[in-house]
Amino acid sequence: MKMDVEGWVDGARRVPSPNFDARPAGAAIALLVIHSISLPPGEFGGPGVTELFSNRLDPKAHPYYATIHELRVSSHFFIRRDGELIQFVSCDARAWHAGASSWREQGNCNDFSIGVELEGCDDRRFTAKQYHKLAALTRGLRLRYPLTGVAGHSDIAPGRKTDPGPRFDWKRYLALAQAAFLYSPLP
């Protein structure tokens, strides 16, 4: 996958999020964080995720939305079940996806990571199209950024987060991405 000079991936649908800011001066992008999300929980295909990340989630559209519509969160990417790639934030900017987090004894993972949300949940398998798109994205990102690791949200925020969950097949993903040395689970 190719990326333009401003950190946007060619071919990804752009849904710009206001939920980002500048990375700290000198921060090298070293980590890829894999998440999973579905809105409403356990349901796929709707506009909930794009609406959440663009601050347009209607609290009346679903009872769960009333509890989260004021969150100001984002991710760089979202990969739908059919493999569609959506980008919310330039990779050069800091998306707000990791929250309280730590990797290799360095806190504030948003400062030095790229976040990828997969449309899914802990109790369902991800699709072949998602694995292939994630692998292609990973290979493309590694051409531009000095990624030295990949981790699940659960790895950088243990006890607080469980995604991408036990149904995410790390071995399959890493084989497709040709990046077996990258995975950095909890120490």
Q: Which residues are known to be catalytic?
A: 117
List for the chain the helix, strand, coil content (%; round to 5): 25, 20, 55
Report whether 106 contacts 151 (CB < 8 A). no
Euclidean distance between CA atoms 38 and 61, whole angstroms: 15
Euclidean distance between CA atoms 160 and 57, whole angstroms: 23
Report whether 46 contacts 39 (CB < 8 A). yes
